[in-house]
Amino acid sequence: MQELPPPTLLKRDGHEAIAYRATAGSTPGVMFCGGFMSDMTGTKATELEAHCRRTGRACVRFDYAGHGESGGAFRDGTIGGWRDDALAVLDSVACGPQVLVGSSMGGWIVLLLALARPERVAGLVGVAAAPDFTEDLIWTTLDAESRRTLVETGEFVMPCDYGDDPYPITMGLIEEGRDHLLLRAPIALGCPIHLLQGMRDEDVPWRTALQIAETVESERVTVELVKDGDHRLSRDDDLARLYAAVDAVAGA
């Protein structure tokens, strides 16, 4: 396999440099926002870029600060900070209208991006989208001892099913995440939205996709449940569903 050249760095005054890879093509382009402690070398990000190349569509993938090849430490990250990383890429790298594709935490990020830059968003595709996960899937599920450790020490280490390194969960992540919760009130978005969700996802309950569909104001929402699908949704059939969803939203 041919080795890729290093990614391009988006340098910002007072902020960590963000690594990204962009391919030229038609609009609406596709911008991929990865998950918590994931990076742009994952299967969905790279295979989606390959699909965009085949169809002649522009594509951007990137690493949040503290992830992959970007600067910074993961422990310093917050939802608002990662939202701002994605906004910088949207504003400075991506050209024209975009289909924003968000995987897991990235599903929260793309909703926040669409609220911040509605004029730039042609539509959204969520893959196991996890808005509000810091509150609903971490904080509320911790036992008393784990909460006490988090409050008293500022950090709790959570096992990770997708690699050798555990997730460091900081109190700063939990508290700052509360400033960006979305599922407590209507979400003022009217763009096309397609949500892919595995029903055997052990990290994000499949009913979260239905909650997102109920909460957004858009009438153009499709929820696609994959009964035997897990959290990653990166099998060949799952990727085909992703390509079809992106093409449908781009064509809408």
What are the distances in angstroms from CA 174 to CA 46, 51, 138, 155, 193?
A: 30, 36, 8, 10, 27
103 assigned to active site = no
194 assigned to active site = no
- Residue 31 · residue 99 · CB < 8 Å: yes
* Residue of 63, 132, 136, 201 marked catalytic: 201
* Residue of 51, 180, 194, 231 marked catalytic: 231
* Residue of 104, 132, 136, 238 marked catalytic: 104
247 assigned to active site = no
Catalytic residues: 104, 201, 231
